[in-house]
Amino acid sequence: MSLPRTPRMPHLSRRALGGAALSAAAAALLGSGRAVAATSTEETTAKENTTVFRAPAEWEAHSGCVMAWPWDPAVGWGGLLRDVQAEIAGIAREIARFESVLMVAEPGHGDAARTRCGSTVTVIEYPINDCWTRDTGPVFAVDAGKTQKIGLDFRFNGWGEKYPYDKDDLLPVGVCDHLGVQRKAIDMVLEGGAVITDGQGTLITTEECLLHPSRNPSMTRAEIEAALLAAYGASKVVWLPYGLHNDDITNGHVDLVAAYLGPAKILLHTQPDATSPNHARMAANKAVLDNATDARGRRFEIVELHHQPHYRHNGLLVETFSYTNYYETSGSVVVPLSGEPVDTLALAQFRTLFPTREVIGAPARTLGWGGGGVHCVTQHIPKTL
């Protein structure tokens, strides 16, 4: 997601390799002595057919968080690599105060990650391209009794063949193996930041991203919706028209414009300034939610968030920094900070929204330059009994 990047590298599909070969590779890379959990689709079919899984809401209990260590200046970070590493380490340490953090590092870079992140963060080595685990890691789902967990392994194509992804597309294999979680391959391109869920049957996404021709050009809207619902264990998709203006990296990820605060309650980025290109776009999103109901027939309560800094960093005008791109733990909310004065107003609003939790501001100015924020570099692991 960072700019600018080198042309994408040749991609080797995990499906072409086959489940058995990947399992062996994962075991070797992770140094696992147990049977690998990332079994092939054929091996897990019988179990999947008898168990219904759903992707839980982010406010439900976590057992941990998956992150990844940026290491390669050639993917676009250049001279900002140490800056973004500092931001990733800072976010990891703040989350680790409330839940375990698993940091995945490129082989040979684990010691550097351990040194920068500290002893509260667990670091493993597995091949990666970059740090955007919301999009590259597995989306976790649980059964009705929360006694079982699986990792949904969607295809990843570098946000529409834009950036290198040969390693990141394989990240769910290594993560699921390390956690001992069964992996389910989903034959559809999807980034986790493109969808938010209430865990109660409702998904929210954007047409701009999911219907973009660079993702699943052979699938119709109805087919994309059906695949999403089946994978997430949901029953309704609410389609917002737009992401943020000039989000040409993710093509309109929903986590840059909206977040679930609770059942049928949405934090929505809106822009009252009529001269802003986001004014009409965000108004169109709000109109959809104003006239929609969720899977349980509830009308949405919308909390508007107007704050959105624009700033120059490393010669680039950053226009897609977003405070809706936060991470929620059981005791805290980690909010990205731009280093601009409006951060103070955003933090004050979050304190009113989460009065029983510690609101933590995490520097993310360089991550914003790279196209994302706190939510983009974290993937929550739901807790099972």
- The fold of the 14-382 domain, in CATH, is L-arginine/glycine Amidinotransferase; Chain A (3.75.10)
How do strand 202-206 and strand 236-240 relate by DSSP bridges?
parallel
Q: Encoding tokens for residue 212?
A: 């973009």
Q: Which residues are catalytic?
A: 376
pLDDT at residue 25 greater than cutoff 90: no
CB contact at 8 A, 373 and 364: yes
Q: Is residue 22 a contact partner of residue 14, using CB atoms and an 8 Å limit? A: yes
Tell whether pTM > 0.75: yes
Per-residue pLDDT band at 29 (split at 50, 70, 90): low
Q: Confidence band (pLDDT; 50, 70, 90) for 48?
A: low
Lowest mean pLDDT among 24-33, 160-169, 277-286: 24-33
Distance in angstroms (rounded) separating the CA atoms of residues 23 and 173 = 7
Evaluate whether 140 touches 382 at the Cβ level (below 8 Å): yes
Q: Report which DSSP code applies to 325.
A: -
**329-363 per-residue burial string, b: 16 or more CB within 10 A, e: under 16:** beebbbbbbbebebbeebbebbeebbeebebbbbb
* Token pair listed for 41: 């689709």
Q: Is 15 a residue whose pLDDT tops 50?
A: no
Q: 């939790």: which residue's tokens? A: 357
Q: So what's the pLDDT on residue 50?
A: 75
Q: Are 168 and 227 in contact (CB under 8 A)?
A: no
For residue 11, the model assigns a pLDDT of 41
pLDDT at res. 26: 53
Mean pLDDT of 89-96: 98
| Per-residue model confidence as pLDDT tens digits over 204-255 | 999 999 999 999 999 999 999 999 999 999 999 999 999 999 999 999 999 9
Q: How buried is 303 (Cβ within 10 angstroms: 0-12 exposed, 13-18 middle, 19+ buried)?
A: middle
| Sign of the C-alpha dihedral computed for residues 174, 365, 376 and 93 taken in this order | positive
pLDDT band at 81 (very low <50, low <70, confident <90, very high): very high
Cis peptide before 4 (omega within 30 of 0): yes
Q: What is the mean pLDDT of the chain?
A: 91
pLDDT value for 47: 55
Percent of the chain with pLDDT over 90: 87
Question: Is pLDDT above 80 for 38?
Answer: no
Measure Cα distances from 301 to 73, 255, 265 in Å. 43, 17, 5
CA neighbor of 133 nearest in space, from 348, 280, 327: 327
On the question of pLDDT at 65 being above 60, the answer is: yes
Read off the pLDDT of residues 344-376 as tens digits, 9 standing for 90 and up.
999 999 999 999 999 999 999 999 999 999 999
* Across 95-115, average pLDDT: 98
What pLDDT shows up at residue 34?
36
pLDDT one-digit tens code per residue, 113-168: 999 999 999 999 999 999 999 999 999 999 999 999 999 999 999 999 999 999 99
The answer to whether 113 and 105 have CB atoms below 8 angstroms apart is: yes
**Residues of the chain with pLDDT > 70: what percent?**
87
Instruction: Categorize the per-residue pLDDT at 27 as very low, low, confident or very high, splitting at 50, 70 and 90.
Output: low
Q: Looking at residues 30-38, what average pLDDT do you find? A: 44
